[in-house]
Structure 1
Amino acid sequence: MNDFSSWTGREEQRGDRLDPALAARWLATFDLAAQVTGAMPQGIHFCLCTPDAPTAALGADGHPARDETRCSFLPPVPLPRRMWAASDIAFLSPIVVGAAVERTSRITSIAPKSGKSGEMVFVEVAHETRADGVAAVREVQTLVYRQAADPDAPLQPPPMGGGRFSGGEWDAVREIVPGETLLFRFSALTFNTHRIHYDAPYARDEERYRGLVVHGPLMASLLLQMAGDVLGEQALRRFAFRAMSPAIAGEPLHLALRRADETVELGAFAGDGRQIVAATGAV
């Protein structure tokens, strides 16, 4: 594996504006009503200051290609499969419709590892998002790069087992079936062209998923909206989530929340009880 230590500390800055049209599209995607205050739900930062690589600069998987030049923010890790593994987010102030937004991103660590699934590289990126000059969101995002899947590898995740999700130990539960339309809209909002979210033959044949894969930040957004409904809008000061297993479009997704004093546990589960996302929050 190459030495990518020179990428540690690399920064990029992006600007955006949360204009009324973008805000309306976000709310429409999740069937949400606008707030009188103009403050947007927590998670809106996922669709701000997004990568804007030209189409000609995309790689085979749909992500911006990576190379050795200074124009490449992320290191050219020679492992083809990429996923958003986790995020640790601090919410500092709401982002309101019309706000001018700036985001500074910095690579804080690059760590090669070996596991049961082969060689991997974990890249941590620290993002600071400011709205109208005020710090709004700080996030440490973990990306993981993995080896190519064997062409005859079993499709993941395995077919639904005989178990069943039980919400009896949770304070609040809800069920959603994320379909292709929701995935398409979220990809459009976040300018995410990763083919596992919209190209079923690619997802199956190249990356060996059982179907289209639901975005990690899409599920995080749904959990944040659930927290907003149960605890109150803008109630969370911290929110951390970690991907445990892929979620497949068209299959039931169970969201769950329970509170203990000032901490909140959240999760997303498949219909057979398999945990897909583990999350915690602080109020």
Structure 2
Amino acid sequence: MTDTSDWVGRTRSVNDDIVRSPATRARAMLGDWSTAFAEGDAILPPLWHWFYFLEATPRDETGLDGHAAKGGFLPPIALPRRMYAGGRFTFRGDLAFGAEAEKRSTILSMTEKQGRSGPLAFVTVRHEIVQGGTVVATEEHDIVYREAEDPAAAKPPAPRADKPVLSEESVTPDEVTLFRFSALTYNGHRIHYDQPYVTGVEHYPGLIVHGPLVAMLLFERARRIAGKRPSAFSFRAMSPVFCGTEIRLAEVAAETGLALEARDTDDRLIMISTTEF
């Protein structure tokens, strides 16, 4: 792979106004009628900072996959496929509506390894969300890069869920949900909306549900179960899930915090998460 070690430590800062309109649209996308944003509401729910600080990449600076071309803030890793592998969050305070905030990003690490399906590269980026001089949230974002899919190659077995389910809800993201989440996060990745591209170029069987969307569904269910504000959240993607697939948001036993898993109807494991309060 290309030597990209000098990218570690690279930083970037983005400012945004925390206004109600993105949160109101996110509420409609999630079907969250318990969260209101009328006059007098002071704060944005945790994790909803994902709908702000969006990267407005000019069209001529995007790559074939619709993302910002590699080699700007993110390193020019040669592996063509890029996905959200996981993340870890701490929520120290709240973002207030009506005031500017800043997202400070730093590339923490880059590693390479050999996976079951070929070479992999992992990049971890740390984001600090700052308002009024105070860090109100931190996020460590894991990105995985992998080589192009060989349609003729045997697929490794998907991980299976084996923990007993304490409670569960189901949701089936459709094309409208994927479009709305892409629009809310200004995500141009073609695997989420371009059927000929995702099947013909990246050789997936269908449109892929965003990893962050699955993570947010798990996080929002944890908020509903606990009925209180989370202080930390982590998740790890286990296998892709495709548009129109029923996703079971399953609560399972945990030593600490509230553990939720995203599973399909056959207990294929899609994502695991832990929320702390």
- How does the TM-score come out when normalised to structure 1? 0.89
Aligned to 2:236: 242
- Alpha-carbon separation, structure 2, partners of 1:148 and 1:261: 38
Aligned to 2:171: 176
Aligned to 2:111: 111
- Alpha-carbon separation, structure 2, partners of 1:96 and 1:140: 22
SS at the partner of 2:124?
strand
Aligned to 1:190: 185
Task: Classify 1:59/1:81 alpha carbon distance in 2 versus 1 (closer, same or farther; 3 Å).
Answer: same
Task: Classify 1:153/1:106 alpha carbon distance in 2 versus 1 (closer, same or farther; 3 Å).
Answer: same
Aligned to 2:17: 17
Task: Classify 1:109/1:223 alpha carbon distance in 2 versus 1 (closer, same or farther; 3 Å).
Answer: same
State the AA in 1 paired with 2:22: L
Task: Classify 1:131/1:120 alpha carbon distance in 2 versus 1 (closer, same or farther; 3 Å).
Answer: same
State the AA in 1 paired with 2:172: V
- Alpha-carbon separation, structure 2, partners of 1:15 and 1:118: 38
Aligned to 1:271: 265
Shift of 1:259: 5.8
Shift of 1:154: 6.2
- Alpha-carbon separation, structure 1, partners of 2:157 and 2:207: 11
Aligned to 2:146: 146
Identical positions, percent: 39
CA contact (8 A) 1:86 1:241 kept: yes
Please identify, of 188-197 and 171-180, the stretch whose mean Cα deviation from structure 2 is larger: 171-180
Task: Classify 1:260/1:245 alpha carbon distance in 2 versus 1 (closer, same or farther; 3 Å).
Answer: closer
Task: Classify 1:29/1:97 alpha carbon distance in 2 versus 1 (closer, same or farther; 3 Å).
Answer: farther
Let me know the Cα RMSD of the aligned residues: 2.2
Matched, 1:280 2:274: yes
Query: Is there any run of 5+ residues in structure 1 with no aligned partner, and where?
Result: none
SS at the partner of 2:207?
coil
- Alpha-carbon separation, structure 2, partners of 1:262 and 1:157: 29
Q: How many residues align?
A: 272
- Alpha-carbon separation, structure 2, partners of 1:96 and 1:209: 40
Q: Deviations over 1:122-148 (max 9, x none)?
A: 101011012343322101111011111
- Alpha-carbon separation, structure 2, partners of 1:226 and 1:190: 20
CA contact (8 A) 2:179 2:193 kept: yes
Q: Deviations over 1:34-80 (max 9, x none)?
A: 1563433322011211221101111000010123xxxx100000111
Shift of 1:222: 0.8
Shift of 1:227: 1.1
Please identify, of 256-265 and 49-58, the stretch whose mean Cα deviation from structure 2 is larger: 256-265
- Alpha-carbon separation, structure 2, partners of 1:239 and 1:149: 31
1:227 aligned to which of 211, 216, 222? 222
State the AA in 2 paired with 1:64: A
SS at the partner of 1:279?
strand
CA contact (8 A) 1:154 1:208 kept: no
1:50 aligned to which of 48, 54, 60? 54
Query: Is there any run of 5+ residues in structure 2 with no aligned partner, and where?
Result: none
Task: Classify 1:173/1:38 alpha carbon distance in 2 versus 1 (closer, same or farther; 3 Å).
Answer: farther
Shift of 1:258: 4.1
Aligned to 2:70: 66
